[in-house]
């Protein structure tokens, strides 16, 4: 068993850290106050190959291994959570399924543009009645000659206001391998397709620069018949496989956010003097630092293990869920402890921990809540019992 990162993985971490120090950390707080999509930053990230991490070289991407992809999101999120979110969604729930399930024509049409950042990708599954219950999709797509006609709505679409292409889950005619499930399909919809209306931005607690569309509305939205990603009726399967592997990225984000919180707590505790000594000398503070450091490392190892197993081609439903659960929980726990160590200073916007605390909460919610991960894990444990 080897826990050493490869030379390439170490180089990726160093590259992302240097990018973060130069391009992200100096502007993150001010940008979050404005809440605008950071186009220039994303362009620079694309120039470094970050937006093509899950795209093979033959389509213009860097095609890195899954541990490297996790390191990318970990370090981006450690510096600025919004950037980690934007790039993770683009990479893991748009580019990855496009490459994994797409036809050759679909790959040639979209992946080079996605890799260069000419277009941003988005994933649209959630609806008012389809959140944790992903099978309860109401949006429909009816085949009319050589076109699908889509009607319905989606909500909470990360990258929705800027995306050039959407992966849309809709109930379609066609067989499904599971008769208990609706015949859901995944459809590729371009931004400028007539009948597609993009709603206003959501006003969120955190990750302000990761723009989230309040809604996508489809009114007789017509797309070519060949714009099905994967097989007709197999969309639920496509979605679950996609989310399984994508949870590694959110787990990595949790680790990055937690590490950022720990970094701030450690620095502050060594600078802040009370009762004649730095507060880091007090046992209560030391115990919090020790607890944070231990659980961050545990979550990191779970994340890297899931990524390792993914690259081996093994089924990772339980491992990815464990990693995301651990990442989501330590992100919020570390942020809370770090803010407590800061005391009143942590509650004001002059210190980064205030932003980190607000950003941390989302990690345990999107792409499957902590509670859904527990159900996922238990389901795997009880199989065949």
- 221 pLDDT higher than 70: yes
**What's the chain's Rg over C-alpha atoms?**
21
- 284 pLDDT higher than 60: yes
Q: What is the mean pLDDT of residues 85-91?
A: 98
251/302 Cα distance (integer angstroms): 9
Q: What is the pLDDT of residues 163-216, one digit of tens each?
A: 999 999 999 976 555 645 679 999 999 999 999 999 999 999 999 999 999 999
**Region label for 295, one of left (φ > 0), alpha (ψ between -120 and 50) or beta (otherwise):** alpha
Instruction: Identify which of 94, 85, 92, 75 has the alpha carbon closest to the alpha carbon of residue 25.
Output: 75
Annotated catalytic residue within 30, 367, 371, 380: 367
153/273 Cα distance (integer angstroms): 54
186/231 Cα distance (integer angstroms): 8
Task: Let me know: does 236 contact 135? Beta carbons within 8 Å.
Answer: yes
In order, the DSSP letters of 63-112 are ---HHHHHHHHHHHHHH-HHHHHHHHHHIIIIIHHHHHH--HHHHHHHHH
User: What is the residue whose two structure tokens read 């990191």?
Assistant: 300
Tokens representing 316 are 């990772």
Q: How confident is the model at residue 1 (pLDDT cuts 50, 70, 90)?
A: confident
What does pTM read for this prediction?
0.95
Q: At what angle do helices 81-90 and 352-360 cross, to 10 degrees?
A: 40
At 299 the pLDDT is: 98
Max Cα distance, the chain (Å): 80
Tokens representing 157 are 């679409």
Q: How confident is the model at residue 135 (pLDDT cuts 50, 70, 90)?
A: confident
Coil, strand, or helix at residue 159? Answer: coil
At 136 the pLDDT is: 86
Residues 83, 364, 357: CA angle, nearest 5 degrees: 60
Q: How far is CA 385 from CA 315, 371, 378, 379, 382, in A?
A: 19, 22, 11, 10, 5
Tokens representing 30 are 């001010």
Q: Is 367 a catalytic residue?
A: yes
Instruction: Identify which of 275, 385, 271, 255 has the alpha carbon closest to the alpha carbon of residue 333.
Output: 255
Tell me the pairing of strands 121-124 and 140-144.
Answer: unpaired
133/373 Cα distance (integer angstroms): 13
293/298 Cα distance (integer angstroms): 9
Q: What is the mean pLDDT of residues 135-157?
A: 94
305/185 Cα distance (integer angstroms): 31
Q: What is the pLDDT of residues 8-62, one digit of tens each?
A: 999 999 999 999 999 999 999 999 999 999 999 999 999 999 999 999 999 999 9
Q: What is the pLDDT of residues 225-278, one digit of tens each?
A: 999 999 999 999 999 999 999 999 999 999 999 999 999 999 999 999 999 999
Q: Which of 170-179, 215-224, 329-338 has the lowest mean pLDDT?
A: 170-179
Coil, strand, or helix at residue 299? Answer: helix
- 97 pLDDT higher than 80: yes
Instruction: Identify which of 51, 35, 41 has the alpha carbon closest to the alpha carbon of residue 212.
Output: 35
The kind and range of the H/E element at 219 are strand 212-224
Coil, strand, or helix at residue 128? Answer: coil
The domains of the chain, with CATH numbers, are 7-119 (1.10.540.10), 122-232 (2.40.110.10), 237-381 (1.20.140.10)
Q: Give me the percent of the chain exceeding a pLDDT of 90.
A: 94
At 182 the pLDDT is: 78
**Region label for 161, one of left (φ > 0), alpha (ψ between -120 and 50) or beta (otherwise):** alpha
DSSP 127: B
378/248 Cα distance (integer angstroms): 18
């Amino acid at each position: 068993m080897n826990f050493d990162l490869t030379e390439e993985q170490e180089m990726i971490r160093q590259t992302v850290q240097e990018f973060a120090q130069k391009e992200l950390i100096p502007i993150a707080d001010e940008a979050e106050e404005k809440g605008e999509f950071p186009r220039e930053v994303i362009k620079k990230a694309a120039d470094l190959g970050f937006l093509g991490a899950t795209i093979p070289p033959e389509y213009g991407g860097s095609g890195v291994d899954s541990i490297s992809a996790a390191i990318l999101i970990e370090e981006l999120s450690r510096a600025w959570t919004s950037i980690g979110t934007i790039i993770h969604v683009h990479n893991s729930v748009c580019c990855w399924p496009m490459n994994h399930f797409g036809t050759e024509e679909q790959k040639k049409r979209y992946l080079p543009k996605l890799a260069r950042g000419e277009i941003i990708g988005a994933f649209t599954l959630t609806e008012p009645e389809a959140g944790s219950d992903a099978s309860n999709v109401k949006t429909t797509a009816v085949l009319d000659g050589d076109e699908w006609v889509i009607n319905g709505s989606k909500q909470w679409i990360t990258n929705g206001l800027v995306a050039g292409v959407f992966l849309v889950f809709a109930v379609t005619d066609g067989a499904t391998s599971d008769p208990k499930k609706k015949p859901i399909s995944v459809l590729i919809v371009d931004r400028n397709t007539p009948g597609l209306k993009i709603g206003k931005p959501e006003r969120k607690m955190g990750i302000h620069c990761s723009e989230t569309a309040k809604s996508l509305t489809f009114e007789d939205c017509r797309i070519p018949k060949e714009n099905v990603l994967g097989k007709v009726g197999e969309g639920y399967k496509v979605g679950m496989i996609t989310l399984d592997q994508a949870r590694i990225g959110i787990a990595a984000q949790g680790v990055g956010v937690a590490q950022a919180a720990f970094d701030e707590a450690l620095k502050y505790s060594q600078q802040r003097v009370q009762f004649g000594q730095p507060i880091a000398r007090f046992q209560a503070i030391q115990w919090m630092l020790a607890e944070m450091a231990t659980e961050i490392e545990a979550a990191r190892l779970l994340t890297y293990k899931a990524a390792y197993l993914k690259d081996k081609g093994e089924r990772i439903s339980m491992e990815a869920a464990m990693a995301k659960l651990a990442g989501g929980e330590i992100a919020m726990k570390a942020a809370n402890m770090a803010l407590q160590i800061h005391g009143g200073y942590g509650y004001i916007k002059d210190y980064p921990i205030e932003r980190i605390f607000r950003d941390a909460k989302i990690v345990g919610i999107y792409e499957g809540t902590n509670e859904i991960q527990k159900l996922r894990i238990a389901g795997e444990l009880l199989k065949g019992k």
